[in-house]
Amino acid sequence: MPVEAFLLVLCAALVHAAWNALIKLEADRLALIRLMCATQVVLSLALIPFVALPAGPSWPYLGASALLGIVYVRVLNRAYQAGDLSFVYPLARGVAPLLVALASVVLVGEQLARGAQLAVLLIGLGITSLALTRSGANLRDPRAVLFALATGCVTAAYTIIDGLGARLAGSPHSYMVWLSLVTSSLIVASLHRRKRADRPPLARRTLVSGVASGVLSYAAAWIVIWAFTVAPIALVSALRETGIVFAVVIGVAFLRERLNLARLASILVTLLGAALLKLSR
């Protein structure tokens, strides 16, 4: 992986952790996600005059990714209803790079060196193990486990699709802008169908968090889409998920979460995988 791609994807991982921390602090997550996506629609509309239409072969991938975006939001919300965020998030995001690596080799035909394979495995296991360092109550609830795993599967699916779509689009920038416009518009329309009685008035904090999350997630996604065109999809996916390390740091530093030895060991395994990924060829 080129050095500039490695560093930028790490930055995207940090940004991803930041906007997920904002979501964690919000009681009405669907309202915040709706605002986040509405912000992305506005950003995409503003940027469309500056990018070309994606090449024709990429549109089926773009459409499939947009539909999976709706599924992702729905499944993730169900997962958070069934289990704690500190359990669902690492389990879902830890499983995803392992599935992406498998699919990229078997279905896409990408070649990963032994060192890269080990790096992806360490990152995936390190992240997934974070889910096991918290209360075991979530493990006893099959719904929490199943919805978390389903979220990981959807994440892996749209990652592979976006990687291929960005490469076929002619420009990762045009693919990103149009993908965000279509996906965010569909999610906003989907969430707008909630009954008005189920939608409490928006607080100023929710409004600010929603807009900030929209801008941050847009920037992170743009970096990752670009990285898919200059590096193997599996490596970009694994490195992106190291954002959970930043999420733990944010939680400890700002949200008063505890850092025990088990969580520290999981973080060290994840960081070892990231370092090996950079060193691998």
Residue ranges per domain, the chain? 3-279
C-alpha to C-alpha distance for 41 and 39, rounded to whole angstroms: 5
Q: pTM of whole model > 0.85? A: yes
CA 245 → CA 13, 40, 154, 248, distances in Å?
A: 9, 25, 21, 5
Query: Which pLDDT belongs to residue 195?
Result: 46
Query: Which pLDDT belongs to residue 145?
Result: 86
Query: Which pLDDT belongs to residue 9?
Result: 92
Query: Which pLDDT belongs to residue 133?
Result: 72
Query: Which pLDDT belongs to residue 128?
Result: 87
Distance from the Cα of residue 243 to its chain's centroid: 9
C-alpha to C-alpha distance for 219 and 213, rounded to whole angstroms: 10
Query: Which pLDDT belongs to residue 241?
Result: 87
Taking each helix axis as running N to C, give the angle between helix 29-47 and helix 172-191, from 0 to 180 degrees, rounded to the nearest 10: 140
Query: Which pLDDT belongs to residue 159?
Result: 95
Query: Which pLDDT belongs to residue 91?
Result: 85
8 A C-beta contact, residue 72 and residue 155:
yes
Query: Which pLDDT belongs to residue 194?
Result: 57
Largest interatomic CA distance in the chain: 55
- Which segments of the chain have a pLDDT < 50? 195, 197
SS3 27: coil
Query: Which pLDDT belongs to residue 190?
Result: 80
